[in-house]
Chain A
């Protein structure tokens, strides 16, 4: 999965999801290990291939 950017989004002061861009498409990924995109994000972070930016 070609994730070109990743950033947390906050809701009421807590991270609610991660906004990623994959092949130019912006997706909102829940913080749920049963979600395949979140699982892939965690894998890429662990492999040092991806960094998640803090929320604005």
Chain B
């Protein structure tokens, strides 16, 4: 796209010049949970932050942060690989790669009102399986959905896709901290999810996830699927991908998931004391076995988070205590207070010089 065309696209769109991408981590650069070896799951597995891989059936695909990219504008993509194929998909089974957008972040779309605006989705994609693919814009619960399709005609080749659809004036679209909108890329599914493309449909829930003639990517063992540069914006045409700084993107991701480990350390990794203890939380040992550990999360969470506490050996549900000589011992957490600034206690009393633990705080949608 020429510079003049880019400017025309921006002027012609209804988008702001910045912060117009409703997708967080669209360039797949933030991966706090690890960069490989993460599988899809019924509740949604996550490798690149905010992007979930669902498998509701016998198939499984792995996810990794890949350096295979369409051009040098990007450094990373999400790579999905089928590790357990499902070639006999049951009617209610589904496989998808999706992002759920918080309701606060879709207010500008006007969805569910007479002011609902047209949305445009653009992304780079590459797959080893050619054919028709489906991607649907859903509300929370999937009762309202607009089903789009795109074709991949050349295997293992990057292509840019741009899709646009009319705004939805009806239905319930949460504008709160709940799930406001879901962009779901279909990777295979049964007849319960079959719907009609290029229209809004009301169903009892996710009833138009894919067209009947969409490919079942999950049916091919070893199949690969790459994606990056995902952008959803208000307006009738796609604008250039909005690159945000790594720090800004990480901050947005932390609203849904944050850890006190260093960025590149996967939660549960054993840490050696004192040379490699990262950003552990330190506590104090008071008299009479009373111990206090105070911490504040860097970023306000979307909702009260699920907290997982790790000792220095990488075991969950633990806290590490240090004696006067600095020797660490992992102990069971005796008292737990979630979603506040205090964690305290060990399972047994003793004279400890200090307390240490790591925290993973999860408020993902």
Contact = CB atoms under 8 A, between A and B. Distances in A.
Interface in A1-25: 1, 9, 11, 16-17, 19, 24-25
Interface in B302-316: 302-309, 316
Contact of B306 (A9, A16, A24, A37): A37
A34 B307 CA distance: 14
Given A11-B335, A11-B337, A28 B268 contact: no
A11 B340 CA distance: 12
Contact of B338 (A16, A25, A40): A16
B314 to A, nearest CB: 11
Contact of A35 (B308, B337, B363): B363
B304 A30 contact: yes
Contacts of B177: 34
A21 to B, nearest CB: 8
Contacts of A19: 317, 336
Contacts of A26: 308-309, 316-317
Nearest to A24: B316
Contacts of A1: 41-43
Contacts of A17: 336-338
Interface in B257-288: 268
A29 B306 contact: yes
Contacts of B191: none
A46 B309 CA distance: 28
Contact of B303 (A9, A16, A35): A35
Contacts of B336: 9, 11, 16-17, 19, 28
Nearest 9 pairs of A and B residues by beta carbon: A26-B317, A34-B303, A30-B304, A32-B304, A1-B43, A26-B316, A17-B338, A37-B306, A30-B338
25 contacts: A9-B335, A9-B336, A11-B337, A17-B336, A25-B268, A27-B306, A27-B308, A27-B362, A28-B306, A28-B308, A28-B309, A28-B336, A28-B338, A30-B338, A32-B303, A34-B177, A34-B178, A34-B303, A34-B304, A35-B305, A35-B363, A36-B306, A36-B364, A36-B365, A38-B306
